[in-house]
Amino acid sequence: MKKIWIINSFPKLFEAYLDSGVAGQALRGERGIDFELNSVLLRDFSPKDFKGVDAAPFGGGEGMVIRADVLKNALMEGVVKPGGYGDNFREKLHIVYTSPRGKVWDNEYCKEFSKNVWGAKGKDVVFVCGRYEGIDERFIEAYVDELISLGDFVITGGEVAVLTILDSALRFVPGVLGNKVSSENESFNGGLLEEPIYTRPRDFEGLEVPEILLSGNHKAIKEFKESERLRITKKYRPDLLDD
């Protein structure tokens, strides 16, 4: 069984995620995939003589910083100990922190992460969710294996970033979608956006479904979809064709 540990400040976000969608079903063990998601509440590991998880930054500056000792307590007591990883836990866990300085998450990175981390030889994963101004640099230096960024923008906390990483990466785990073709035909696979899609009614406010899609000619339909993927990519994301 692959275990996913999330050190976070807002566990209800992950509870809602578990209750919905195919990825949530996979994490509940309902799609034949052996995954287990464990939420570790950061504030449960504050020092006894200190209320809270953060403190003002040394040297001044805006905001508050999550303390390294609180993060270590959460890792050791909330993950390593209950998970039974022992003294050599670094060999069994892959620890990820979401940060603007990380490698930018895209479709290829997503597939690579899913294969390497959740493949047969992969490790259990620990996601560390930052808040406020971030986390103490010393925890990153001592324990973090990989930094991931969603892009060149800032969000209020790492929980949303981790949910995005989970939802996109789990789609590439065999069995989660139930149909391998589903993930292969989506946007960004092959470097192109997905083609336009249509359903009933055949006529909507004078706009009709392309006749070729109703023809039953599978070869022609496939060629049409491929040309549409190229057209849509040129129109909306020409940067994807620059290379």
CATH number of the domain at 93, please: 3.40.1280.10
**36 shares its domain with 137:** yes
Residue 77 included in any domain: yes
- Give the β-pairing of 124-128 and 2-8: parallel
The model's confidence at residue 32, banded by pLDDT at 50, 70 and 90, is low
Residue 34 included in any domain: yes
Choosing from 116, 144, 171, the residue where a domain stops is 171
**118 shares its domain with 79:** yes
**28 shares its domain with 97:** yes
Residue 181 included in any domain: no
Single pTM value for the model? 0.89
**136 shares its domain with 235:** no
Domain that includes residue 102, residue range: 2-171
Q: Identify whether 174 is preceded by a cis peptide bond (ω within 30 of 0).
A: no
Domain count across the chain: 2
Residue 128 included in any domain: yes
User: Closest Cα partner for 162 from 129, 138, 203?
Assistant: 129
Choosing from 171, 198, 213, the residue where a domain stops is 171
Residue 180 included in any domain: no
The residue length of the chain stands at 243
Q: How far is CA 23 from CA 20, 164, 172, 175, 229, in A?
A: 8, 11, 10, 10, 26
**199 shares its domain with 225:** yes
CATH of the domain at 195: 1.10.1270.20
On whether the CB atoms of residues 27 and 37 are closer than 8 A, the answer is yes
HSE-up of 234 (CA within 13 Å, CB side)?
A: 6
**28 shares its domain with 115:** yes
On whether the CB atoms of residues 146 and 86 are closer than 8 A, the answer is no
**223 shares its domain with 142:** no
**201 shares its domain with 160:** no
User: Closest Cα partner for 177 from 242, 91, 114?
Assistant: 114
HSE-up of 1 (CA within 13 Å, CB side)?
A: 13
Question: Taking 60 as the threshold, does the pLDDT of residue 215 lie above it?
Answer: yes
Rounded Cα distance, 48 and 173, in Å = 41
State the average pLDDT over residues 184-197: 79
Rounded Cα distance, 98 and 146, in Å = 8
Rounded Cα distance, 99 and 134, in Å = 8
**88 shares its domain with 62:** yes
**166 shares its domain with 127:** yes
Rg (CA), the chain: 22
Choosing from 146, 171, 196, the residue where a domain stops is 171
**199 shares its domain with 143:** no
Q: What is the pLDDT of residue 1?
A: 87
Question: Taking 90 as the threshold, does the pLDDT of residue 214 lie above it?
Answer: yes
The strands making up 146-149's β-sheet, listed across from edge to edge, are 35-41, 2-8, 124-128, 93-104, 146-149
User: Closest Cα partner for 102 from 82, 128, 122, 80?
Assistant: 128
Question: Taking 90 as the threshold, does the pLDDT of residue 216 lie above it?
Answer: yes
State the average pLDDT over residues 168-183: 77
Residue 178 included in any domain: no
Residue 176 included in any domain: no
Q: What's the pLDDT tens digit per position in 114-172? A: 999 888 788 999 999 999 999 999 999 999 999 999 999 999 999 999 999 999 999 89
Question: Taking 70 as the threshold, does the pLDDT of residue 91 lie above it?
Answer: yes
Rounded Cα distance, 152 and 107, in Å = 16
**163 shares its domain with 228:** no
Residue 179 included in any domain: no
